[in-house]
Structure formats: structure tokens, C-alpha cells
Amino acid sequence: MSDVLLEVRNLKQYFPVKSGFKTVPLKAVDDVSFTVNRGETLGLVGESGCGKTTVGRTILHLYEPTSGEILFDGQPVTSGNIGHMRKQMQMVFQDPYSSLDPRMTVEDIIGEPLDVHHLCKSRKERREKILELMSFVGLNAEHARRYAHEFSGGQRQRIGIARALAVDPKFIVCDEPVSALDVSIQAQVINMFEELQEKLGVAYLFIAHDLLVVHHISDRIAVMYLGKIVEIADADELNERPMHPYTESLLSAVPIPDPDITRSRKRILLEGDVPSPLNMPTGCAFRTRCRFATEQCGKECPALTDRGGGHFVACWNK
């Protein structure tokens, strides 16, 4: 059996947008390729609007891909067979306030996947499974009859995680699952993700913009900029030896709770604005803000190439 659980090849997701009298493609995800191994966490980072969430939703066919190939457990994921694969691939959504139905009790929210996939033979078995899932994520049995609005943000996110775990998936897309939570609650939820991975062996695509959180939970990290992956490496390797100028800038902005280190290091500020996905620059998309940009950067977009040890970078000058 291959170690690779999910393989994404040349994935593109373009949305038609009206511009004046014509329709132009908004390139939300443009030729993205990566793999996720069994039981691994791949962190996906980048600034708002770079296409992180669209990647996750497209993998699960919540958006129909424009082109490219998605392989799960060696099988191609298509609109025809995604229904059978839903049990194996789940998602935890970013906003715990809008991703739960306010008219359903916690028991019904967590039990819905069990009903859809006919996983329980009796009401007693269903109830026992729901209570087991609730205890898994730190909720009490007495919470089962309550509604989502009666819970805090952290508790709501736990309900969403229990719902995703109900069908015993192999892979979960975690779409900024802690960004809407307080810092103290973030730590609890992150620790819970790690404990569940140890117990269940589930793999995560962990989407976030907080590099400290991503470095803590991820085995490998992929950095996105304007719909393209510009760097992929082991989490520690990326943190200690970033190669792409965009990754260097992101890491220089991460706060370090040590005044001596903070004073001695130099912040790399990016100049200019992020280009519009409707009017992308020629060649490398980052060249308009890059201090190392050359003529070659404007002519041709660099491919993601291995620089040794599984450290992939898309840059002509690094």
C-alpha cells in the first residue's frame, strides 16, 4: 500500500466573472500539485484571498474543478464517484457559527452523517455512537439535546469536528478551524486535533494563515500566493530555512516572545499591492512585489522544483 493518501495534480479552479460586457476567468487556483500521506498533516498557508479554502473545497468537489486530477487512495475523484468517497473525506468549516444548523440539536447534527450513510442499525446504536463521538471531542452527554446557539465558539467547533469524525474518515480538510476562536480556546482545539490524529490515524489538510499554529501542528507546510503553491517543505525546514522571498516575508512577520531576538531580526516588508486575480502579471505572480525580480521573472512562471530533501520552491533566483 502506498504511503500517499491524497494526490492533487495540476488542479485549476477558475470562476467566471463579469467584467464590463465580457466574462473573464478569475483564477482562484492555478495549476496546484501536492500530496498528503496517510496520518500526515499538511499545512496550507498564505494571505487572505490566495485560494487556500478553494483548494480544500475543490478537492471535496464542493466546487467542480475546472481541470486537473485528484487521486484519493489511488482512485480518481470525480463528480460521478464523490458520493461514495464522502465517507472517507470530510471537512471542518471555518466559521462554527454558520456551519451548524440552528434548528437541529447537537445529537441530530452529529447523527446526520450516520443517517445519510446508513451506518447504524438501530436508534440505540445511533445514540451510543453519537455519545461516543461527543466524549471524543470533550462534550458531555447532557449537551446532546441542546441547540448550537447555546454553545461557545470553541464548543461549536467541537460539534463540527465530531460531525466530521462520525463516518470514520481517513482525510479531513480543516479550513481555518481555529481562526474564529479565542487564543486559549485555539490551543485546546489544536491539541484535540493532534490527539485525534494519534488515536485514529486520520490525515489533515490544515488551512490557516497563522504560521505559528501551522508550524505547531503540521508535518509539512505548503505556501500559497495568488492561486499557486510557491514553496513546500518539512515544517521545521521551512521555518528555519525558507527559500522563497514570499515565505521569508511571511516568517519575518511572525511575532517571537523574546525581545532580544525581536530587536536583532529584520522585518521584510513587501512593497506594492497584491495583483488582481482577474488581471495577473506575466510570468511569476509575485514578481511585482519581489526585491529579487529579474527580466526572466516577467517572461516565464517558475515551476515548483525540488531543491533537495523534499524542499520544493518555485523561484528563478533562489
Residue 160: pLDDT above 90? yes
| Least confident piece of the model among 225-239, 248-262, 291-305 | 248-262
- Average pLDDT on 297-305 reads 91
Give me the residue spans of the domains in the chain.
Answer: 4-88+169-313
For β-strands 305-306 and 41-45, DSSP reports them as unpaired
What is the pLDDT, as a whole number, of residue 185? 82
Residue 180 has pLDDT above 80, yes or no: no
The reported pLDDT for the residue numbered 1 is 59
Instruction: Give the DSSP per-residue string, 124-192.
Output: HHHHHHHHHHHHHTT--GGGGGSBGGGS-HHHHHHHHHHHHHTT--SEEEEESTTTTS-HHHHHHHHHH
- Which tens digit of pLDDT belongs to each residue from 40-71? 999 999 988 889 999 999 999 999 999 999 99
Strand order in the sheet with 75-76: 22-37, 4-19, 67-72, 75-76
Whether domain 4-88+169-313 has CATH 3.40.640.10: the reply is no
Please give the model's pTM, rounded to 2 decimal places. Answer: 0.91
More confident position, 58 or 268: 58
